[in-house]
Each structure stands twice: as C-alpha cells, then as structure tokens.
Structure 1
Amino acid sequence: MDKMSKWEAADAAVAKALEHPRVAAAIEAMSALDAAIVAGDKDGFLAAFDEESVTNNPMNAISRIADSARFFAGGKLAYSYFHRTIDYAAPRGDDEVILMGGEVFEPIGGAPNAGHTVRRRFTDLWQLKPDGWKVAVRQSTVFDASPA
C-alpha cells in the first residue's frame, strides 16, 4: 500500500452510530490523527492529545504526551499505511466517545516491527476539550506481526 490511512465501519451498527454528531466528530479527529502518523506530521499527531492523555504505546508501555512526542520524533511511530476497522462506536456521558476495533499497519524505518504487517486491537476514549476532540485514554495490543 502507498502512504495512506483509512478506516471502515465493521457493520451496520457502527455505520448507524456515525449519525450521532459526537461520534462523527471523534471519527473525524481520529482520521486526522491517522493521516498525521502516516504523513510523518508530528504537530498533527500531537494535536490529537492533551496534557492529560495516557496511552499504552506500541512498545507496550504507558506513555504521556511528552513520551509520545519523543517516540514520534525518534521515528518509533512511523507507518507506511494505517487501516482501522471500527467494531464499536458510541457516545459516553456528555463529552466522550468510545471507539474500539482493529488496526493493521506497516511500520517503517526505525519503528518497532519495521517491515512487518502489524495487527492489533485498540480501545480509544476520545474527550471533547475546549480546543476539540482529544484522545483521553488509548490502549492497544499487538496480536500479530508478520513479515510484510
């Protein structure tokens, strides 16, 4: 695949959830994040997070925003393509959206598993902040990394 990011709804229930304005807005923010990763756009990547964000990073450790910035700048988050399948999408409370599903991507350069096709499951909790939708909590688990 050429440098690209995309996502798809796993089923009709997820497609229906996109009719909810908050879900649609979170998906739009997620799409911008994914495109920034593939483009190598550090500022676009960091714009998806705020100071309170916590993620389980691709090295299976906990990261705060400063850690994620360092990993991105060091080439640890470099992908030739990124594809998500959304299995679950729903609003939560007044200002949150949960997205769950699978991801398939190929790390490049000095990123872990470079040259492999990586598959992982994810759960993202997006939260509406004054400056837009931000990843509040992210957990992802690699379950396969096969040679590309």
Structure 2
Amino acid sequence: MLRKIGMLAAFITAVPAVAQSSPAVRVPPEIGAAYARLGKAMMAHDANGVRAVWAEDFVVNAPNNMVLHRDEVIAAMERDFLDYRDFRKHISFVGEKPEVTVVMGYDTMVPTKGPGAGKQVMRPFTDIWTNRAGTWQLIARQATIAAAR
C-alpha cells in the first residue's frame, strides 16, 4: 500500500483555487459548493472535511492505472504527498441525471512534489457525484495526466 500512496503525488484531485467553465456549462450550485468544501479540506489536509465530500465507497482511477479507495487517497494527503501550485479546474461538461451528476473537464496545476514537480500538468478528469441523504458526494473519479510542460 505504501507503494500505491507514494505514486499518488501528482495524481489525485486537489480542487481548484480557480474554477472555470465554458459559458454554456452550468455547474449545479450544490456541486460547486461541494467542490469548494473539498478544495479547502484538501489544502488544509483536513481528512474529516474530505470524508464529508467523498463518499465512503469513493474510488479514483489514477493516471498511473491504479484504482485507489478513499482511505488510500486520504492517507497520501495526510502524509503531505498532494501539493500543487496554481491549480485550476476547467469544466467543459455537466450531465445531470436523476441519480448522478457527471462533471468532465481538465485541471491544470504545477505539482510541487513527485512526478512532474515544477512543471505545469494538464489532467483531464471525469467526476461522478450522487446525492445521498440530501448531501452531494463524490463517488468516483477518473484522472489522466495528458501533458506536462
């Protein structure tokens, strides 16, 4: 498991300092607020804040082709492996269904540690949100590093 966590450094969502979306894309306010809560929690290394947004069964298909569960990602965050400079989320699609909302786009960031440290990285993503007991939670994420400069 330690090997998994060590490889995470540049791969997991840190949530935006700046969120941008194309003019035709409308992010539901509840999900926008959840992204904001998640961003604050990640930056503060607040595991309980992250747990409040990520569902207990949250999984991420990371760019290193590893499927990681919520507690593995939180452990990496608590070990200070997830640090980014100039993080921005660009949202290009929001698909609302009765049970889930799908958000797609790409993140740009500069990791301060791990693979790509010091270089701008573009990472396309797909996030799957669901409403459980009146609260929007992230249940799955796929992220791929597309380019590093």
Measure the CA separation in 2 of the matches of 1:39 and 1:82: 15
**Structure 2 SS opposite 1:13:** coil
2:60 paired residue number: 55
Measure the CA separation in 2 of the matches of 1:135 and 1:81: 23
Match for residue 102 of structure 1 among 102, 106, 124: 106
Q: RMSD in angstroms over aligned alpha carbons?
A: 2.0
Match for residue 48 of structure 2 among 7, 31, 43: 43
1:13 paired residue number: 24
1:86 paired residue number: 91
Match for residue 125 of structure 1 among 107, 124, 128: 128
Structure with greater strand share of residues: 1
Across the two proteins, how many residue pairs are aligned to each other?
134
Q: Which runs of 5 or more residues in structure 1 are unaligned?
A: none
Q: Which runs of 5 or more residues in structure 2 are unaligned?
A: 1-15
- Report deviation, 1:58: 5.2
Please, what TM-score do these two structures have when normalized by structure 2? 0.78
Percent identity over the alignment is 26
Measure the CA separation in 2 of the matches of 1:74 and 1:58: 20
Structure 1 segments of 4+ aligned residues over 2 angstroms from their partners: 34-47, 57-60, 110-114
Distance 1:35 1:112, change over 3 A: farther
